[in-house]
């Protein structure tokens, strides 16, 4: 069953609806420094197929279907000066938006809507129907969504089929990385040899591949050792590395077969420091088996894992630093 969400995005509604996404910083910055925000955490809880209501300027104007799990992405350039105090690294959640034929104002049917609103983290004030300041993406009961949907008209067929033309992780990742390559090529602080090596590392080639292969000669999941069947994959993604050193560090890489590389890059699997493979509960275990991975089991801690006939090896201390980032910021938990 889908979950239901409500987003208050007055400042960015035009950019997010036109671009078919939602974006939030990973951390909210207050006077006391960085702090977590439940509404930003909800970006990672949202699941493909969930439905979301768009609220801005006192009215609901769009309904959307979430098309992908959220993933790390920089603040969209089209935001301009909006959110100048937001962190530059955030979550991007692809959403297929459908416009309502006539936007609707919650305050006009508040008597019916107010009793259905959540008692905690309500996106609007039940007394006035106006948005609660500081609330971005809030989970709502199904009844709230149904109450709105019963009063508006939109293309249910477009919403049901929506997502095929929405943003995907792959095209956003590629666009971000292509922009970074352009900036690297213009960077006066890097010599040409370093620039070439860093750009090659984006595709798991060159100096980076050599360094990773010397540390990790086999795929951690399948055990394959044939170099022709292995990809040098970054643990901390190339696009979020802060320096050329991180992008070229062999400790920031694993040699993986193409299917495992895809799962790892998208965050559907990760690794414990012990070497244990961990799989996301939000990916269909049947799809993993169809990819040729072995039967899924549960370990003593309740983590889902890919069982393997070979012994797992613990990671080196520097690898563990990168893996901590992957488990926290990439893995779809």
Confidence of residue 164 (pLDDT cuts 50, 70, 90): low
Phi, psi of 283 (to 5 degrees): -115, 140
Confidence of residue 167 (pLDDT cuts 50, 70, 90): confident
Give me the pLDDT at residue 301, please: 47
The percentage of residues in the chain with a pLDDT greater than 70, rounded to a whole number, is 91
Taking only the tens place, the pLDDT of each residue in 26-62 is: 875 444 444 558 998 999 999 999 999 999 999 999 9
Phi, psi of 256 (to 5 degrees): -135, 150
Average of per-residue pLDDT across 255-270: 95
Out of 213-227, 289-303, 306-320, least confident range: 289-303
| Cα angle, residue 273 at apex, residues 267 and 277 outer, rounded to 5° | 50
Taking only the tens place, the pLDDT of each residue in 81-132 is: 998 888 889 999 999 999 999 999 999 999 999 999 999 999 999 999 999 9
pTM over 0.85? The answer is yes
For residues 177 and 284, the model is more confident at 177
Give me the pLDDT at residue 127, please: 94
**Calpha distance 70→110 (Å, rounded):** 32
Confidence of residue 292 (pLDDT cuts 50, 70, 90): confident
In this structure, what token pair is assigned to residue 65? 């279907």
Give me the pLDDT at residue 300, please: 46
**Calpha distance 268→71 (Å, rounded):** 12
Give me the pLDDT at residue 147, please: 97
* DSSP-H helix ranges across the chain: 13-19, 38-45, 110-113, 142-149, 156-161, 169-186, 192-202, 206-215, 244-248, 258-266, 285-290, 317-325
Give me the pLDDT at residue 243, please: 96
In this structure, what token pair is assigned to residue 168? 């995907």
**Calpha distance 280→90 (Å, rounded):** 21
Domain spans of the chain, in order of start: 4-167, 171-330
**Calpha distance 220→235 (Å, rounded):** 13
DSSP 60-106: EEEEEEE-S--EEEEPPGGGTTTTTTS-SEEEEEEEEEEEEEEEE-G
For residues 229 and 289, the model is more confident at 229
Angle between helices 192-202 and 206-215 in degrees, nearest 10: 60
Domain at 4-167: CATH code: 3.10.590.10
Out of 194-198, 213-217, 242-246, 299-303, least confident range: 299-303
Distance between start and end Cα atoms, the chain:
18
User: Taking all residues of the chain, what is their mean pLDDT, rounded to a whole number?
Assistant: 90
**Calpha distance 165→128 (Å, rounded):** 37
Give me the pLDDT at residue 118, please: 96
SS3 237: coil
In this structure, what token pair is assigned to residue 182? 């352009």
């Amino acid at each position: 069953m889908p979950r239901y969400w409500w987003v208050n995005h007055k400042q960015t509604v035009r950019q997010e609806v036109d671009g078919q996404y939602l974006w939030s910083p990973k951390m909210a910055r207050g006077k006391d420094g960085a702090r977590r925000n439940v509404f930003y955490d909800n970006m990672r809880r949202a699941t493909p197929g969930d439905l979301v209501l768009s609220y801005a300027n006192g009215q609901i104007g769009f309904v959307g279907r979430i098309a992908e799990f959220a993933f790390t992405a920089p603040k969209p350039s089209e935001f301009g000066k909006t959110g100048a105090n937001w962190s530059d690294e955030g979550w991007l959640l692809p959403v297929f938006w459908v416009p309502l034929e006539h936007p609707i104002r919650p305050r006009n049917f508040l008597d019916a809507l107010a009793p259905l609103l959540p008692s905690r983290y309500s996106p609007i004030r039940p007394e006035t129907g106006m948005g609660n300041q500081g609330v971005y993406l809030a989970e709502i009961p199904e009844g709230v969504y149904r109450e709105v949907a019963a009063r508006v008209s939109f293309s249910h067929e477009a919403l049901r089929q929506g997502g095929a033309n929405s943003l995907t992780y792959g095209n956003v990742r590629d666009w971000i990385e292509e922009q970074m390559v352009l900036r690297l090529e213009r960077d006066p602080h890097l010599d040409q040899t370093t620039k070439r090596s860093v750009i090659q590392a984006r595709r798991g080639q060159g100096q980076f591949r050599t360094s990773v292969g010397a540390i990790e000669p086999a795929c951690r999941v399948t055990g394959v050792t044939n170099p022709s069947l292995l990809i040098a994959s970054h643990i901390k993604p190339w696009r979020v590395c802060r320096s050329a050193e991180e992008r070229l560090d062999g400790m920031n890489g694993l040699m993986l077969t193409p299917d495992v590389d895809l799962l790892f890059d998208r965050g559907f699997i990760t690794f414990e420091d012990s070497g244990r493979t961990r799989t996301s509960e939000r990916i269909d275990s049947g799809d993993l088996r169809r990819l040729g991975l072995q039967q899924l089991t549960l370990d003593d801690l309740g983590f889902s894992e890919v069982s393997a006939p070979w012994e797992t090896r613990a990671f080196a201390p520097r690898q563990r630093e990168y893996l901590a980032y992957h488990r926290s910021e990439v893995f779809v938990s």
